[in-house]
Amino acid sequence: MKILDQPEESAPPGSAISYAGLIEKIEILRSTLRWSSKLERPEIEKLLRQASSLRDEVMQLSHKERFVQAAGAEPKRVDQTPGARRQGLLERSFIFEGTFGDNPKLLEALEIAEKAAPTDLPVLIDGESGTGKELMAKVIHANGSRGDKPYISVNCGAIPDNLLESELFGHKKGAFTGASNDRKGKFESAHTGTIFLDEIGELPLTGQVKLLRVLEAHEIQRVGSDELIAVDTRIVAATNRNLRRFCEEGRFREDLFYRLSVIHLTLPPLRERRDEIPLLLAYFGDEAAATLKRRPVRMSPRLRDFLKNYDYPGNIRELRNVIYRLACLAADTADLEHLPLDIRPKSALSSAMNDAQAPGGGSIVATSLSEAKRTASDEAERAFLERGLQEVGGTVAELARRFEMNRSHLQMLLKKHGLHSKDFRAAAAQRDKEA
Ligand SMILES: Nc1ncnc2c1ncn2[C@@H]1O[C@H](COP(=O)(O)OP(=O)(O)OP(=O)(O)O)[C@@H](O)[C@H]1O
Ligand SMILES: [Mg+2]
């Protein structure tokens, strides 16, 4: 029987053992154990020694080494300028449905994605909301050997607990009330392709146990069925949570975290890659012009200045939305007054207030000032809700969760402003179709 080809002694100190390599060795050990019908005592002892030496090696790798080395065996090319690294990615026909510049943090994430793509190793992507995690998951899928196979996205935060198992693994007819037919789950649909587990940090602990089982056994069981179905699915997960902290707090299983994060990449927030902003402004300016069938909108210098220095808590998604808004509202040249009220600089707000005053000047009585305040506050509220709905693709339950608001109160506010969630769902579906 073939156990492990590698020599049994542990590697000499200082040798570069990658975390990915270690995981692979552990997998070989596991399948040896799983598939062997009978093992002799010396073989068992040998396997146990190998297991314990592997465990020591894993323990010795610092977190940093794990993540960096997992990106590939190649040493980092420190001599290359960011421009050359960017050019290198483009020349190697790296598929990226977006734009990127010379920012070293982003380049690092892209280079990791490039190296991870052709493997089947699980990837965990983290980063603030709107930093491009989903886009990155698609990039990893598109650049790998499964690029022409299914890519199935699951939002773990949006599935009610009682439907989770059926959603992920499918069910048999009659398994529970309402299960009127046999149904495939997401894992089966993603067979031979990639499954994207979005918002993995929201997965309840019960779901985490079930997911761990699939990751270990590569097989699933539909709810209500005894049959084991083998699934060959590459896993990419994403979160805007700090999963390491979640593990410490007991909200996320540590074993699942390590299973998912063989390759771990972090997308920097936009405020840490400001040098990319001009590129993104041009990119989305052209995209918005094409979508709205208009000439690209020009920007006043003070607006451009603002957009280059703004903090973008909603990251790239927020920048994109702002540009679409400008392209929709401005005639030829956009200015500060076209910005959403909640981010508009104070100076522009007060000049807008002045513009709103009665034409002949006249006395501003208390009632008109309070009227002006109310209008401004209403407008800010509406813009806030509108932006939120755009970000969640029109799902009110999700928006209520994000805003930590009571759902019926949120429904009431939407009604007050005449905002219809279905319009945003339709717009999101349209965007997905175009993407
Ligand atoms: N480098 C980029 N070039 C062009 N567009 C980008 C880039 N990065 C992200 N985007 C766009 O920004 C928007 C937000 O990206 P995405 O949905 O991938 O973010 P996310 O991190 O998954 O957000 P969330 O945590 O809120 O789900 C999308 O429209 C995406 O296409
Ligand atoms: Mg996302």
Task: Tell me if 54 is assigned to some domain.
Answer: yes
Residues 6+ apart with CB under 8 A from 80: 88
Atom 12 of ligand 1 has which residue's CA nearest to it? Answer: 317
Terminal CA-CA length for the chain: 50
Residue 346 lies in a domain: no
176 and 318 share a domain?
no
> Does ligand 1 have an atom closer than 6 angstroms to the CB of 259?
no
Tell me: do 59 and 108 sit in the same domain.
no
The answer to whether position 80 is within a domain reads no
Q: What is the pLDDT of residue 212?
A: 94
**pLDDT category of residue 127 using cuts at 50, 70 and 90:** very high
In a domain, 400, yes or no: yes
Q: Looking at the structure, do residues 174 and 231 belong to the same domain, yes or no? A: yes
pLDDT for 9 beyond 60? no
pLDDT of residue 267: 96
Structural domain of residue 332, as residue ranges? 274-339
Q: Tell how far the Cα of 278 is from the centroid of ligand 1, in angstroms.
A: 16
**Which residues are CB-contacts of 152 (< 8 A; sequence separation ≥ 6)?**
186, 189, 190, 193, 194, 195, 196
Residue type, 415: K
Order across the sheet with 234-239: list the strands.
151-155, 194-198, 234-239, 123-126, 263-266
Q: For the segment 292-329, what is each residue's pLDDT rounded down to a tens digit?
A: 999 999 999 999 999 999 999 999 999 999 999 999 99
Q: Which two tokens stand for residue 151?
A: 């890519």
Distance 288 CA to ligand 1 centre (A): 15
One domain for residues 242 and 280: no
83 assigned to some structural domain = no
**Pocket of ligand 1, candidates 94, 100, 134, 239: which has the most ligand atoms within 8 Å of its Cβ, to mutate?**
134
Q: Which residue shows structure tokens 């299960």?
A: 179
Ligand 2 geometric centre to CA of 129 (Å): 7
The residue whose CA is least distant from atom 15 of ligand 1 is 132
> Are residue 179 and residue 130 in the same domain, yes or no?
yes
Q: Is the pLDDT of residue 429 over 90?
A: no
Task: Evaluate whether residue 139 is within a structural domain.
Answer: yes
422 class by beta-carbon count within 10 Å (0-12 exposed, 13-18 middle, 19+ buried): exposed
Amino acid in the structure at residue 330? A
Q: 209 and 99 share a domain?
A: yes
What digits encode the pLDDT tens for the residues 135-155? 999 999 999 999 999 999 999
- Residue 85 domain-assigned? no
Domain count, the chain: 4
- Final residue of a domain: which of 268, 298, 323? 268
pLDDT tens-digit map of 101-118: 999 999 999 999 999 999
Residues 246 and 212 in one domain: yes
**Ligand 1 centroid from CA 135, angstroms:** 6
| Shared-domain flag, residues 121 and 56 | no
Residues 123, 151 within the same domain = yes
With contact defined as beta carbons under 8 Å apart, do 241 and 89 qualify?
Answer: no
Q: Is the CB of 388 under 6 A from ligand 1?
A: no
The reply to whether 255 and 138 lie within a common domain is yes
| pLDDT band (50, 70, 90) for residue 64 | very low
Q: What is the pLDDT of residues 187-207, one digit of tens each?
A: 999 999 999 999 999 999 999
* Together in a domain, 261 and 135: yes
Owner of token pair 């065996």: 73
Question: Is 7 within a domain?
Answer: yes
Q: Which atom of ligand 1 is nearest to the CA of 129?
A: 25
CA distance 312 to 305: 14
pLDDT of the residue at 353: 55
Residue 312 Cβ inside 6 Å of ligand 1? The answer reads no
CATH of the domain at 234: 3.40.50.300
Q: Are residues 410 and 302 in the same domain?
A: no
Ramachandran sector of residue 103 (left: φ over 0; alpha: ψ -120 to 50; beta: rest): beta
**For the chain, what is the radius of gyration of the CA atoms?**
26
Residue 17 pLDDT? 52
Interatomic CA distance for residues 302 and 310, integer angstroms: 12
Between 213 and 42, whose confidence is greater? 213
Q: Averaged over 72-92, what is the pLDDT?
A: 75
Q: How far does residue 130's CA lie from ligand 1's centre (Å)?
A: 5
Residue found by looking up tokens 């300016």 in the block: 285
Q: Which residues contact 245 (CB under 8 A, 6 or more apart)?
A: none
3-state secondary structure the chain: CCCCCCCCCCCCCCCCCCHHHHHHHHHHHHHHHHHCCCCCHHHHHHHHHHHHHHHHHHHHCCHHHHHHHHCCCCCCCCCCCHHHHHHHHHHCCCCCCCCCCCCHHHHHHHHHHHHHCCCCCCEEEECCCCCCHHHHHHHHHHCCCCCCCCEEEEECCCCCHHHHHHHHHEECCCCCCCCCCCEECHHHHCCCCEEEEECHHHCCHHHHHHHHHHHHHCEECCECCCCCEECCCEEEEEECCCHHHHHHCCCCCHHHHHHHCCEEEECCCHHHCHHHHHHHHHHHHHHHHHHHCCCCCEECHHHHHHHHHCCCCCHHHHHHHHHHHHHHHCCCEECHHHCCCCCCCHHHHHHHHHHHCCCCCCCCCHHHHHHHHHHHHHHHHHHHHHHHHHHCCCCHHHHHHHHCCCHHHHHHHHHHCCCCHHHHHHHHHHHHHHC
Residue 13 has pLDDT above 60, yes or no: no
Whether residue 31 has pLDDT greater than 70: no
